[in-house]
Amino acid sequence: MKRTNLLGLLLCAVVFVAGFLLKGHLGLYVNLASLMIVVGGSATAALLCFRLERLGIV
């Protein structure tokens, strides 16, 4: 990854978090149940689409 790409990603993350913090507590925007649904669904889709050998699990 180029240095400019990394700098842009870092700047975007800082602006994103700063925008949340200006309007209240950052914890108000985090929903653990929805995060678990997204991560679990993504993992399940990967397991259904690819063989275990290709995923590096076995």
In the chain, domain spans: 3-55
- 28-49 pLDDT tens trace: 777 889 999 999 999 999 888 8
On whether the pTM is more than 0.85, the answer is no
Contacts of 29 (CB under 8 A, 6+ apart): 20
DSSP sequence for 10-38: HHHHHHHHHHHHHTS-GGGG--HHHHHHH
Average pLDDT over residues 14-34: 82
Q: Give me the chain's average pLDDT, please.
A: 85
Structure tokens at 48: 């259904």
